Chains A and B, each alone.
Chain A
Amino acid sequence: MGSSSIFLDNTRLGHPTPPGAAGRVRSWIRRLASGDEVAHIITLIFAASIVLVTLLLVLELYRNSALPRHKFGWAFFVTSIWDPVFENFGALPFIYGTLVTSAVALLIAVPLGVGAAIFLAELAPPRISDALTFVIELLAAVPSVIFGMLGIFILVPILRIYVEPFLKSTLGFLPLFQGPMFGVGFLAAGLVLAIMVVPFILSVSREVLLAVPVEQREAALALGATRWEATWKVVVPYARPGILGSVFLALARALGETMAVTMVIGNDPRISASLFAPGYSIAAVIANEFTEAPGDLYRQSLIEMGLVLFILTFILNGLARLLILATTGRGTERA
C-alpha cells in the first residue's frame, strides 16, 4: 500500500520478505501480528463506514422520492399547488420561501458581518479583537430553537407593533411592504436567520482579512490612502473570494435552518410579493408535515424537497470551501 504517511513502514526492516507467495502471506501475517496492520484495518473500517453511511443516506433519499419524480417530473419545481386532497404537489412555494428568507437574511447579515469583520481585523487592538470574536462565535453555538423562541416572544410582537407599520408608512409604495401585517412572515424569518448567520460571515471574513499580506495594506498607505481607503479598496478586494465563501457558508446554513424558521414564518405555502406575508420553507414544511403525511406520494414529495435542499447546501458548501481556500492560500503563498 503506497502510504503517504510520514511513518516509515519499519515493520519490514530487518525482515526481508521470503520468496514466493507463501512467503508473502507469512510476511503479512507477521505484520498483522505486530499490530500495525490491525490498526490500519480497524481505522480503515471506521473511515469506510463514514462513506457507507453517506452513500446509504443519499440512496435512501433518492429511492424514497421516486413517486413524485415519476409523477411530476421537473414540473414539481415550478408548480405552486400544494393540495393534499387532490394529491397535487408542487415545490415552488417552499423553494420561494427558502430563497426569500435567505436573501433577506444575507442582505442584513453580509453588511453587518463584513463591517464588523473589518473593524475587528483592521482597527481593533488584538486583545479586544480576539475577545469580541470569541463572544460572537458563541452566538453560533446558540441552538436554533432558542432563536425561534426569542423570535416568537420578542421579535414578532416588535415587528407587528412597531417595525412593520413603520415600514409600511414610509416604504409602502413598494410591493415588498404592502398587505396585512401579522408579525410572522418572511421578514421575521429573514431577520432571525440574519442573526443566526452573522457569526459565520464575521468569523470567516475576519480570518480571511487577517490573511491578507501586510505588504498590500502598507503599499496602499504608502501611496497616501486613508485607513478606510486602504481597507476598502485594497484589502477587501484581495480577500473578496474568501468573503464570498463566507457568504456561501452562511447561505448554506440559512437554507437548511428549520426550527427558528418554522416558528416565525407563518406556515402558509403561498407565494407573495410582500415581506409581511406568511410563507413556508422546505425545511419547515418537512418538520411540520412529515410524521403525518397521509399517503406515499405526499411523504415522498417532502423527501424529494429534502433531497433538493441537500444537494443545494452541498454545492454551496463546496464552493465556499474552494473560495476560502483560494484566498487564504493566495495570502500565504505571497508572504
Chain B
Amino acid sequence: MKRFTASLWGLAAITAMVFLALCFSPQPSSPAPAVPADRLQINAAGATFPYPIYSKWFDEYHKAHPEVEINYQSIGSGGGIQQLKAGTVDFGASDMPLNDEMLAQFSFKLVHFPTVLGAVMPTYNIPGVSAELKFTPAALAGIYLGKITKWNDPALTGPNPGVNLPGNDIVVVHRSDGSGTTFVWTDYLSKVSPEWKRMVGSNTSVRWPTGLGGKGNEGVSGLVKQTPNSIGYVELIYAIENHLPYGQVENSSGRFIKASLATVTAAAAGAATAMQHDVRVSITNAPGQDAYPICSFTYLLIPEKISDAAKRKAITGFLQWMLTNGQGMAEGLDYGRLPKAVVAIDLKAISQID
C-alpha cells in the first residue's frame, strides 16, 4: 500500500511539474510567441475573398522554404483587422483598406500591401435558368434593398429579354460575418444607389434589409448552391469552383460586363497613379469601357515594426516572393495580377518593415 500511494503522489507530482514547465517556460516577448529554431510558424487571419490564392501561395512558399509555415485562417476581413489589433496574429488581410480613423485605433503602425485584384459578382441559382443574366445597378440595389422580390420583375426581365425568368421569390444571400467582400459590394451599391447609401451604407458588416447570412465566401456560395431561387455575391473563384452561374453587371459606361481577368485589369488601369500617394483606393464603378464595376484590390496588413527577427525575415521574404513568383499564379485562380506600377510600389514598401 505504501508503494501504491507513494507512486500515486509521485505520478501526480511529475505530471504537475511537466505541465507547469510547458505552460510557463520562458518565451521572448513579441506580438505572438516564437517557436523553436528550425520550424517557424506565423499566424495570420483575414479575408475570405483571396483565400484560395493565399492558401496556394502559403503552400507554395512552404514548399520552397520548408521551415516557414504560415497559418492563415480565413475568418473574414473584419476578423483579420480585429485580431491584428488585439495582437493575436502576426499579420492580417483585408479587402477593405483601413481609413485613418481605423488606423488610429491601432497601437502600432501598419503598411498596406495590395496583393491581387479580385472581382465580386452576383451569383444565382434559378431552377431552369442556365443563361448568363444581365444586372443593372438599379436591379442589384433593388434586390438587396428588398424592393425587388420576384425574379420576373421588370428590372430583371428588361435587360434579359430572351430568358424565361420564373415568378418565384428571390432568396437574397449575404455574409453573416465581417467581410471585405461585403465592403466591396456595399461600396459599389453605395456609389450607384443613393437610397442604399442613405439606408445601409458600406462597411464590412452592415444592417441588411433582407436575406440569409452565410459565413465566409464559402458559406455564401454553399447557401446559394443549395437554395433554389437564390442570389448571392461572391468572389469570382468561388463561383467558378462551385460551378455557379454568375451574371454580367452594367458598368459606368452603360455596357454589360462579365467579370474576367481582362475586365478586372481594365478597372484597375487608372488606379496606379493615385496609388503612388496612397495604396488605399476604391476601384468600384471605375471609369472605362471595359471595366468591370465591382472589383477591388485586396490588402495584406503588415505591422511596420516586427521585433522577432526570424519572423520579420520570413514575412518580408514571403512578400518579395509574392510580388515576383506569386503574381504568376494569380491568373490561374482567376485573380487579376497587380499592375506593374503597383508591384513597384509594393516592393519599395517592403523596406518600410523593420
Cross-chain contact B208 with A268 (CB below 8 angstroms): yes
Chain A contacts for B78, CB-based, 8 A? 292-294
Q: What is the size, in residues, of chain A's interface with B at 8 Å between Cβ atoms?
A: 26
Chain B contacts for A182, CB-based, 8 A? 171, 212, 227
| Cα A149 to Cα B77 with chains together (Å) | 26
In the assembled complex, A157 has its CB within 8 A of some CB on chain B: yes
Closest to A84 in B: B205
Interface positions, chain B 182-222, Cβ under 8 Å from A, are 200-208, 211-215
| Cα A81 to Cα B208 with chains together (Å) | 11
Chain A contacts for B215, CB-based, 8 A? 267, 288
Q: Interface residues of A: mostly helix, strand, loop or mixed?
A: loop
| Cα A294 to Cα B214 with chains together (Å) | 18
Partner of A83, one of B80, B171, B207, B214: B207
Closest to A185 in B: B212
| Cα A289 to Cα B214 with chains together (Å) | 12
Cross-chain contact B75 with A184 (CB below 8 angstroms): no
Q: How far is the CB of B234 from chain A (nearest CB, A)?
A: 16
Q: How far is the CB of A84 from chain B (nearest CB, A)?
A: 4
In the assembled complex, A86 has its CB within 8 A of some CB on chain B: yes
Partner of B82, one of A180, A267, A292: A292
Cross-chain contact A84 with B213 (CB below 8 angstroms): no
Interface residues on B, range: 20 to 34
Partner of A294, one of B45, B75, B204, B223: B204
In the assembled complex, A77 has its CB within 8 A of some CB on chain B: no
Q: Interface residues of B: mostly helix, strand, loop or mixed?
A: loop
Cross-chain contact A85 with B169 (CB below 8 angstroms): no
Q: How far is the CB of B178 from chain A (nearest CB, A)?
A: 4
Chain A contacts for B95, CB-based, 8 A? none
| Cα A20 to Cα B281 with chains together (Å) | 83
In the assembled complex, A97 has its CB within 8 A of some CB on chain B: no
Partner of A291, one of B83, B213, B214: B83
In the assembled complex, A266 has its CB within 8 A of some CB on chain B: yes
Cross-chain contact B171 with A294 (CB below 8 angstroms): no
Closest to A296 in B: B105
Which of A83, A184, A266, A294 has the most chain B CB atoms closer than 10 A to its own CB? A294
Cross-chain contact B79 with A288 (CB below 8 angstroms): no
Cross-chain contact A293 with B208 (CB below 8 angstroms): no
In the assembled complex, A310 has its CB within 8 A of some CB on chain B: no
Closest to B200 in A: A85
Closest to A157 in B: B226
Q: How far is the CB of B232 from chain A (nearest CB, A)?
A: 12
Interface positions, chain B 34-61, Cβ under 8 Å from A, are 45
Cross-chain contact B207 with A84 (CB below 8 angstroms): yes
Partner of B203, one of A82, A84, A299: A84
Cross-chain contact A85 with B203 (CB below 8 angstroms): yes
Cross-chain contact A289 with B226 (CB below 8 angstroms): no
Cross-chain contact B75 with A82 (CB below 8 angstroms): no
Chain A contacts for B204, CB-based, 8 A? 84, 292, 294
Chain A contacts for B282, CB-based, 8 A? none
Closest to B216 in A: A288
Partner of B212, one of A82, A152, A160, A267: A267
**11 A–B contact pairs at CB < 8 A?**
A85-B206, A86-B201, A266-B212, A267-B176, A278-B213, A292-B79, A292-B80, A292-B177, A292-B178, A294-B82, A299-B82
Taking Cβ atoms with an 8 Å cutoff, the residues of A that contact B are: 81-86, 152, 156-157, 160, 180, 182-184, 266-268, 278, 280, 288-289, 291-294, 299
Task: Kindly list 13 other residue pairs between chains A and B, CB separation below 8 angstroms, not including A84-B207, A85-B201, A294-B204.
Answer: A85-B206, A180-B171, A184-B212, A184-B227, A267-B212, A267-B213, A268-B208, A268-B212, A278-B211, A280-B213, A288-B176, A289-B177, A292-B178
